[in-house]
Structure 1
Amino acid sequence: MKRVLGLDIGVASIGFSLIDVLEKDGKTEFNNLTTNSIIFDVPELAEERRKGRSSRRLNDRKSRRKQHIRNLFFEHGLTDKSFVTEPSSYLNTLDVESDVYILREKALHQDLSKAEFIKALYSITTRRGYSNQFESTEQDENSAKENEKINGSISKNIQLIKEKGFILPTELLTYRRTQKEELGYQNIPVRNKGGNYTNSLNRKLHEDELKIVIFSQKDNRNIFASEEKCEKFYIAVRDVMMEQRPLKSFEDMVAYCSYFDKYHETPQKRMSLSSIYNIELTLKQSLSNYKTMDKKSGEIISLSKKQIDEVVAKWVNEPTSDKITFANIFTKTSLKNCKLNDVGGSAEVLNIKGFRELSAIFKQYNVDFYTEHRDFFEKALLILSYYKNISKRVEELQKSFTGKLEPKDEFINEVAKVSSIDGFGSFSVRFAKMVLEKMEQGNSFSEALESLGYFDKYLGMPAYDYLPPFNPTQADIKWLKENLSYFDTKHLYYKANSSKTVERIISVMRKLINDIIKKYGKIDEIAIEGGKELNSKKEEDKIKENQKDDKKINDEAKNLLKDKNIKDYDNPTKVRKAKMLIEQKYKCLYSNEPLTLKEALDEEECEIEHFIPRSHFWNNSQKNTILVLKKHNQNKTDVPPMEYLKQIGKWEDYKAAVHNSSMKESKKDWLTNEEKIEAIFDQDTNVFLANYLNDTRSSIKIIKNYLEHYLYPKTNRYGKDEQSNVRVVSAKAINELKHIWGIKELITSEDTGKKDRTTNYHHSIDALTVALCDKKGMFALHNFFKQKENKFKTKAMKENVSKNVPFTSEGETLHSFCSHLVEKYKNNELYVCPYNKIKTNKKGFKDGNKKLVVAQNSKGVKQLQELKNISLLPYDLLQEKKQLKVTDRTDEGVRMCVQEIVSQLDIFKQKGIREALPKYGEFLIAKRAEEEKFSVLEKELVNKQKADKKKEDVELSKQIDEIKSQLQSVRDEIAFSNCYFVTKNGTKQIVKGVKNLSDSETKASTVLIQNGNSILMEKLNIETFKQAQEEGHPFVCKENDYTVSVDIYSSSKHQIIGLKYFRSIENDIEPNFKESFQNIDKQYEFSIHKGEVVVILDEKEKVQYLAVANGGGQIAGTNHKIQIENINTNGVVAVTINKKTIIKKAKIDFYGNFQIG
């Protein structure tokens, strides 16, 4: 009998089953010790965490920088102290021109008053302009795309500033505004809006503007007592405004050597892929591992040490390509008629582009990188990898270069600009040297590693009965030393750069396994269900075929760029765009307009569009991206592409363009299948599963190695003849076993016919199946999936597995056992274990400041009401949108919509809009009718053309083209039209939306008031709102999205709920109580935080059940409810707390055992 632990690993769940298994007379008998599931919070994406951190830091730094600059204004006698403490109030009291750009231009020609100077200058210091601190280095594709857009606009603006002879950079922006005003428009924004980078200025231009404005007033004694004081002021303000925190080194992100790892006595970081030692080692390893074959005779040749050294020397001293491949490895050597016999199908040995670029600079300046200055060459590689900022690179390179060279600065500057250094090897330079020395003595690569003890690193390590943390801290290591007699630091498992998601899964699993070992003793075997599906022979062949096709089109794209003499023709973004251009047959898919290569590469003209927005489906693959003209992409704003194209009548044209392209059929289907596109927007669960499946897959191998390392360490060098105590079973195999054994139906949804993911206990059934899937069954199923073309064998294998259905030691069938287990979960006799982080520190604010006013509702009662935005864009008036469903309004529906908006507008203040909007509505109705007329006519002519396919009617084709042109012209008129009214001075005031008061009272419940550096938080009501207005301090009104904790009070009636907001912010705000319970005597009992386990005691129904607190509740009107989440199934419910129903805190362990209190 053996003890087996089955694990079903998911991103936010772990199903486990510990059983004793006995093979008896060819049958499998098992005794269940414990089976359950653990569920934990869905992890936040690293990208979201990073964005949040970045925003907080940027806002904090900007705030501190502005505070420092205001202090400088005060210290130089330009303002009083109130400017430092209350800048908004101070600036609002200045009786000067409100347009800061006019004030700056005025400064060029005359003296400004002190107030004018302050207003003109302070507005410059609040913005610093665009600056890429990672200039001239490689970035990820999205960053590169964004930078290309901004840099393209900046370059054009710099050129225009020179051409127009503008003194101030912002004169270009005001010039553009004036041009639009001359066309009759007003209120034109000077700054960029909505992702448009046309008016972008870089940091240098902002600094120039600062200097010009300050020194324009150097002789103005009203502001500066002397030129010297003017210069001192400029330097002080510039230094603060342009202060740049030194960028951190990326060294901490570089993994440790696989031999001299993090826990070694002398840990070493990994060497650069472009290291000379890495190139030498990789070449010698490849020449050692692969056979060399004569191209003509096919004879296998044994290479001598001299021949190997010749190949290595050739690639180090005179590289002829950026990549060493199996095809070119012997180029320009005495072995040029030979090739490596590449059995594995791999074509590339090593990418040496970075090495080639850097070594060329060394050669240019006659610096010997191979012998005399090799140490500096290696150091330079690390500096170029660790630092992405050029100035920081120069600083570090200057420190490291000790040789004599003229001109040294030019050499260092050239080295600092190298952009293609990327990636690290597995070894450190130190260990690579040791391996190369052994190989120099005649050892092969594997023999060298063996002689250095690389394979013996953990040999002789004892089997642990306690799993140490995956990434132990110093405190963890100290505890291990004190509590485990056999512990040694060199035993610690090191895995480089694992994701936070994987680390979290292992953290929960580790605690589970340690608890199981403590309670049940040693585990003989562990079986894990892997997320990766098995591929059949046909599927594997298809994957290889797709990879071959991808390489072909990538090469075609590169050749196109190369033939057109495009600089950096192998730049990933340029290649991607060229590839799309070829696929789309040189057309923009949104407009069907022709595209040139020049337009495709111009970030101002063209951009890569994610067809399914990444906010809905995180997919950056080639399948989800298309190349479109920027003007058409920006017209659709945030409307989903399919919806937008249908609005403007181009959906069918778009589908035709896609189907006529040379894209793969799978991509065509992805971009045009309406049912699937709508499903992606509708089914958030499926999106989640697709997003996180890769995390589950990547974790399995790490988990397996981690468990084997500690619980079942190898006793000989290669683990030869040793039993594998940790095995991975495919998800496909488990699914098939559940079907054959008849237990799949127990966890299948009747509605969908698929696994019921609304339950949390299906992981338990999966884990039990994993534990019971022995080697014999697993082998049979693997063969079944690999060779399923053989029908006879498949049937025999299925029959063989189905005959051996496991049963319990009491004789109960597997189906019966699982059925009883499921019933226990359904009846709340057994609970899965919620293992959540307790939410106590969320601030709970909805984004944005609520715009409020004190007004009377329809009943004449004063209340705080919100100003709501009403869109007046054409399709917002013509169509009605409910969630994701868009329907056309009838003509009368459009008029009613317009009338409803007009009725909410102020009779006097919004008179112009009230008069213009009905006219605009009628314009849209008329144009839509015109569109419908042309659309009907087009269909009639097309049907007529289809009816007589044999006869080509040139005149009919011409008529169809003319109608199509007229139809598109009308659609463009609608799409690009605006509601506007003419002002008293004759200008056209475009109105894209209006703000109106809502009749209902605002849901905002908190006002945050800034007083100096402190923030005061109060409950929002009319009194506190008016007080905040009168005091003049900056304040914001916020809506509480949710509470994160609930306070429970006892009273003579029953328990009373107090909804507690903002526990993480210091404040004296009492919890919110139900109005009728506000003045009742009550005594605080306890607090329940989001994520904590609670027990509901229902005396009326004589039941009790466990749940997880959701952090919220309902206390309005007659409600007195607390929100809870079910444990065994998904879903949030609200429970009324009264005399018969009370709530208490509870604890639950991994096995579903719980205790109250």
Structure 2
Amino acid sequence: MKKILGLDLGTNSIGWALVNEAENENEKSSIIMLGVRVNPLTVDEQKNFEKGKSITTNADRTMKRGKRRNLQRYKLRRENLIEILKENGFITDEPILSENGNYTTFETYRLRAKAVTEEITLEQFARVLLMINKKRGYKSNRKAKGAEEEGVLIDGMEVAKLLYEKDLTPGQYCLQLMEQGKKQLPEFYRSDLQEEFNRIWAKQQEFYSEILTDKLKENLREKSEKATWTICKEPFNIVGIPRTTKGEELKKENFAWRTKALSEKLDLESLAVVLQKINGQINNSSGYLGAISDRSKELYFNKQTVGQYQMAVLAQNPNASLKNMVFYRQDYLDEFNIIWEKQAEFHKKELTEELKKEIRDVIIFYQRRLKSQKGLIGFCEFESRQIEVEIDGKKKIKTVGSRVIPRSSPLFQEFKIWQTLNNLEVSGKGRKSKKKKEHSLSLFTNQEDPLLIYGKRELYQEEKELLATELSIKEKLTKSDILKLLFDNPQELDLNFKEVQGNLTQAKLFAAYRDIIEQTGHILDLKKSASEILENVEQIFSGLGYNTDIIRFNSDTDNLDNDPMYKLWHLLYSFEGDNSKTGNENLINKITNLYGFEKEYAAILANITFQDDYGSLSAKAIRKIFPYLKEGNKYDISCEYAGYRHSASSLTKEELENMIYKDRLEILPKNSLRNPVVEKILNQMVHVVNAIIADPQLGKPDEIRIELARELKKNAKERQELTKSIEESTRMHKQYREILSKPPFNLTYISRNDIIRYKLYEELKDNGYHTLYSNTYISPTTLFSGDFDVEHIIPQSRLFDDSFSNKTLELRSINIEKGNATACDFVKEKYGETNNENSMENYLNRIEKLYKTGVLSRAKYNKLKMQEKDIPSGFIERDIRNTQYIAKYAKTMLSDLVKVVVSTTGAITDRLREDWQLIDVMKELNWEKYKNLGLTTEFTNEEGYRIRQINDWTKRNDHRHHAMDALTVAFTKRQFIQYLNNLNARRTDKNQSISNTEEEEYDNFAITTEDMLLNTRDVLGIEKNYLYRDHRNKLRFYPPIPLNDFRAEAKYHLENTLISIKAKNKVTTQNINFTKRKRGVNKKTQQTPRGQLHLETVYGSQKQYVVKEESVNAKFDAEKIATVSKPAYREALLRRLQEFDNDPKKAFTGKNSLTKNPIWLNKLQTAQVPEKVKTISFETAYTIRKEISPDLKLDKVIDLGIRRILENRLKEFRNDAKKAFSNLDENPIRPNKEK
């Protein structure tokens, strides 16, 4: 008897089943216990993980903590500044250093602006310094992310000066440069480009006054190049005439039109191009950083400081927001120096040079460099080890060794390329042409080429080296690119990779080299071959006097740090920024000195930023493995040659036999994995497995079988695509249900199979709703009859594939006749090759047409063309051999516990659940509960069977379904997986007899390509031992326990399964708090509150009257009648209600409704209760205080009296909110003017 643990691992739950599996006929399998552990993730955690988004569990907390730290640092600077000002007699404890009293709103701003040119007192000077200390300006960090969204910093003051002095526009200046033969064009400030736009608009408006309206101008503001053309197209009545000029001549013509537009009339086609190009430039220079650069330029030309600029803005509009008006840090420094020097003229004794340096450099503008975060970088799995250390008297495990390499490192980029190249396989059929290309290799000349014999092969070494050269400077090569590069007939071949990623680091550098080369008047085409590009760059750089050693990277050098290309990468990667406005000046100077580039070209290189991520190995390990990869060995073999153990699966049988397994799993240390969701899932798995082992009634299993949720086996991009696909399918299925419930289909109960059938029907729309094999028309009325079947293109007896891509609709008689043949073979045999409406030729034309129009997916198209001899093996093996991080990690952890760990898939679990009749068990367990709630339906279907249905049923409403899946997984033998993986091998071979495949001892992770692929004898042997045919002659897997007993035992255990839910949202946790004292630090262990007490915004609540006019109906019970406003009506209604035993339905509806049986208010019956009465009730309204400003929404003001006063104020100022609600100090709003 073998004890098996089955695990169903999901994103937020773990189902487990411990079973005894019989190993011979004398033993009987049994269920020991089932269970479910629910790990409730937050909504964001689960959705983001499933959608493939980055996990930001604590992003909000981190952001808030960052804000608190910034505030605390500002307060500390303020504290230090006030202290030093007091020490030097600027202020005392008494003065108020902020605005205080009437008419002082902008007093500090006025003092700050005044201090530039006039004397202010030391106390006022202190206030100015405190204001500068509060906002110190933007300091560039070149490694900061998000630059694409924020725009770019522009350092073009010299160009701006020239434009100003010579009264030129950017277009005029660029035309001059191009006429002088210069190709490098400078960047311009947004304000200069906007000024050119305005000048051209004003001039052209003289000729097109009716077209160039102010409204159109406003619509064009800050629009992209494409959007500008779209907006202009209709009013200009233009279609876009093709241009005859190209390249540099086209650019020159554009600038010539821009120059001409300043003084002459342009035709509307040309004017649209001019506006389009200027707006395109404005759009490129826009954004957060572009606006900062523009403000700095304004300060220079207006000869203003930051304070003077802000005061001018406030003088023009007192309501202007200064909060987001950001300037360079250098602009604030300049202002500080100007003000200090000016005030030093009046306060020479107090304002010394030493004090200036202390306040400026130590207090206000001091900013330490970023702390090194190397401690957060992971350790190399091959060049690290764990040691035991003692910290605070406790022994802890610490990892030491080499850290992992940056992904952008040239060494890692080449390593990654070769790792992929060694996994490439080319596949094809037949003999290929021997036609030679100029640089092609001699391929397919050998009659023993594996591609000719087996239909596929790995790449030869010379092919890999050719690809490695191409990929060394390119971002990627697609499958098509690779096949064209290597082979003469690429259209007849296929590759096992859609694309191969190249050297991203070199790709970025060469893109910069191209820009430099083009600006020097040369041409570089990056679409050419790598060898041509390298040769061209080397020649041009050599002629220009630049260092050509940076072009190529030599990974074989002994001293990597001295390689010129590596040094350039490291310089660009590690430079954090300097104190210049753009943060790049020192880097530009360094590049100029080291490599000979002019400053303007060095700036192009300095703007490169690399991927901020890390690989999984250290540079030390990579340098040991890399030589063997370059020889053409796969990664695992290269690791072995380098002396590393690639994985636990690479252990020999002898090593596995002698291996000492753990008695329990260790918890993963906090933050040991990059993904917090994965860490939570795996730690919950550890808790579950350890709890099972620790339970004396359960104990340690002999083998573990595991199924991973599909989200866990996919990478972020695949999860993103999966979620998108599911959302789209859900939306479409909802539409299909609505269609099927209406004529001509009129279905009452719409099952999942009905939706699949309808989707397959719509797939045939472009074929006139004719089937693909027999070309038979399917009418809407016959679609759901028994005349047509959902047919498997590749029979399930040959390929375990029940996906949509393996299904189509066909006549039932044709489906029966087709039997176990593939679609292609059947059509060819039944209808012949040609000369027939349903012939093979016409069949191929039909599917070709549907494929080209996008109706058929590529997968379905290939299956419709597939012959029996082309049916693939290893269908299941590809799904099991998942390589995603969590799958590998989970199996690696479990392999430390038991000798055998077997993976299975959801498809196999579904098949076995169906064969063992476990599908409806969850419905049966929940039937009574749903029936009592009135959520069930019973009906007779078209075949006359009585159907019981739970409305809107989903098994996910009951966590126990995870335990049921785990139970199926626990009884999933390796032979089941092998059989389903090799269905096509079942065809009988005369030379092979049926073998009796017995249980074998397998290595850990043992499912590999070799032991998954079986011959006919072995597959039929498994079929004989493990499968039987049911009453419909369908093959079923034997259940581990006789079927009726198995269902009964499964139901019993599921009924008694208790769901374990992980506790969340702890109120307090135990913490060690440290407090300072005169001599050292106090340590105290105490409970610390966790989490928010309430949300950030606190609302008030109050009761408000709600008056309604309501019809008297069955809702008028005693409580409702109490809200009737008129006492006479209220009393009369209560009397009527009491007459009918307080039953409002009897009292006020039917024959007793007020229209049929009125309620009279007097004996003369002259007055009665109306059909509608006025009710008054209280409703809770939530309120928040808002300041009176131009943005205030008056309809939201609760107090009706205050609302009227504000509305009257608005009318006084002709509904101009800015004027009405501005400058309230000088022009206050008085609730009672008389007072």
TM-score normalised per structure 2: 0.46
Q: Counting strand residues as a fraction of each chain, which structure ranks higher?
A: 1
Structure with bigger gyration radius: 2
TM-score normalised per structure 1: 0.48
